[in-house]
Amino acid sequence: MSRNNSRTLIIISLILLLSLTGLYLCHMRNTEASEDFFAMDTIMSLQAYGKDADKALADARAAILNLDTALSVTNKDGSIYKLNSTGSCDLNDDLQYLLERSIEIKEMTDGAFNICIYPVIKEWGFTDGNYRVPDEAAVSELCKLVNASEISVNTTDNTVSLSDGAMIDLGGIAKGYASMKVRDILKDRGINSALINLGGNVCVIGSKPDGSPFSIAIKNPEPDDTGVSTFTGVLKVSDKCVITSGGYERYFEKDGLIYHHIIDPSTGYPADAGLKSVTVVSDDPTLADALSTAVYVMGKDRAVDLWHTMRDRFELVLLSDTGELYITEGLKDCFTSEFEYRIIK
Ligand code: AMP
Ligand code: MG
């Protein structure tokens, strides 16, 4: 080989080596990414593993911020604000999905989940933080309005309209839907391992990068004797959503009584069905979010009846007001707790 030839070979090898190193470093840089931000009134934390995970998470974050505007009851730029203030608005895919699912889950839960609850939520001051215990007669009138409210989804002219005086609040389902959108975006970008935590609404894609399941701790509403937060239990899951609701998440105190933000549509008052916390585990985060709110209203016995009719679609972890812990049978191999618990069959 001539001197010139061997020099060319060395240069080509060097270029190849540098490109490969660059590619490797680039790949390494993008295999693990995280995003933490505030949206939908809560802290959101996304973690993804895989090529270009950072770009996938940036897209997911943008999608959540868009939904936050669209679905907020107070953001004047969003569809829900327009719908509530004028009685109608344009329909889009997000809204159609959310409204159709909300109507389906209202029927499934005999009205325990009802997004038309908004006039009552507003009266209690949960929307603006100006908390007050409303007049009983006012609650009773608003309750009648809630239960008579109708939502018309018109796919011919792509509009939504509400019956007179009706107003909706997607606070009980929006985060579940947002986690479904994030899951879809990440999967479309080829991410097959991720932890999506939207303020305690957790959804995981696949397993951890080492192949083991993700551990999702369920917060114990009661801190320990020293005031430190503890956990009711831990779920080890892959490809699942774990969504929790409880009155302890948002409440105010007046004259020694606690009033929380999950309202029983049949009374207009904070639900008082004997549960302190409800966790729903499902493949379907929109269902899990709406059901966690509904089951808190329904109480254990009604919730178990519902579970018996559709046990292939969700599982439950229930903590009662008196401290009893229950799980449905499908969780028996993935749930652990330092507390005693009963298995519902
Ligand atoms: P979550 O934290 O998912 O249980 O949702 C609680 C939120 O759902 C509240 O802050 C309200 O915005 C809304 N909400 C309260 N009660 C109901 C109800 N019975 N049905 C539907 N949404 C509700
Ligand atoms: Mg919910």
pLDDT band at 2 (very low <50, low <70, confident <90, very high): low
Q: Please say if the pLDDT value at position 43 is more than 60.
A: yes
Taking residues 320-334, what's their average pLDDT? 97
Average of pLDDT values for 225-230? 82
Arithmetic mean of pLDDT, 244-263: 91
In this structure, which ligand is nearest to the CA of 247?
1
- Structure tokens of 313? 């679609």
Q: What is the CATH number of domain 74-162?
A: 1.10.3980.10
Beta bridge partners of 314: none
Residues 19-40 have a mean pLDDT of 71
**For residue 20, pLDDT beyond 50:** yes
3-class SS of residue 173: coil
**How much is the pLDDT for 58?**
97
Tell which atom from ligand 1 comes closest to the C-alpha of 264: 19
Q: pTM value?
A: 0.90
How is the beta sheet containing 214-220 ordered, strand by strand?
214-220, 230-237, 335-336
Dist. CA 302 → ligand 1 center (Å): 18
- Each residue's pLDDT tens digit, 108-132: 999 999 999 999 999 999 998 899 9
Paired strand residues for 320: 275
Residue 30 pLDDT > 70: no
Strands 32-39, 159-162: pairing kind: unpaired
Positions of E strands within 88-131: 88-90
The pLDDT assigned to 286 comes to 98
Please check whether residue 173 is in contact with residue 289, taking contact to mean a CB–CB distance below 8 angstroms.
yes
Q: What is the pLDDT of residues 154-176, one digit of tens each?
A: 999 999 999 999 999 999 999 99
Measured CA to CA in angstroms, residue 22 lies from 19, 25, 27, 50, 106 at distances of 5, 5, 8, 17, 54
pLDDT over 50 at 25, yes or no: no
pLDDT at 26 (0 to 100): 46
Query: Does 4 score more than 80 pLDDT?
Result: no
Write out the residues surrounding ion ligand 2, Cβ under 5 A.
172, 289, 292-293
CA pair distance 176, 292, nearest whole angstrom: 10
For the cut 50, the answer to whether the pLDDT of residue 88 exceeds it is yes
* Strand residues in the chain grouped as ranges (E): 32-39, 42-49, 88-90, 151-154, 159-162, 193-198, 201-205, 214-220, 230-237, 241-245, 251-254, 257-260, 275-282, 315-320, 325-328, 335-336, 342-344
DSSP 179-212: HHHHHHHHHHTT--EEEEEETTEEEEES--TTSP
**Ligand 1 in contact with 273 (CB < 6 A)?**
no
Q: Residues 54-87: pLDDT tens digits?
A: 999 999 999 999 999 999 999 999 999 999 999 9
> What superfamily in CATH does domain 213-344 come from?
ApbE-like domains (3.10.520.10)
pLDDT higher than 50, residue 248: yes
Identify the residue whose C-alpha is closest to ligand 1 atom 4.
293
**pLDDT, tens digit (0-9, with 9 covering 90-100), for 264-296:** 999 999 999 999 999 999 999 999 999 999 999
Instruction: Encode pLDDT of 189-222 as tens digits.
Output: 999 999 999 998 999 999 999 999 999 999 988 8
Q: Are strands 342-344 and 325-328 parallel, antiparallel or unpaired?
A: parallel
- Residue holding tokens 């929790």? 244
CATH code 1.10.3980.10 region(s) in the chain: 74-162
Ligand 2 mean position, distance from CA 41 (Å): 14
Q: What are phi and psi of 47, to 5 degrees?
A: -135, 130
Q: Where in the chain is the domain with CATH 3.10.520.10?
A: 213-344
- Nearest ligand to the CA of 246 is 1
Cβ of 247 below 6 Å from ligand 1: no
Nearest C-alpha neighbor of 252 from the set 121, 141, 137: 121
For residue 177, count CB atoms less than 10 angstroms from its CB and return exposed for 0-12, middle for 13-18, buried for 19 or more.
Answer: buried
**pLDDT at residue 17, rounded to an integer:** 58
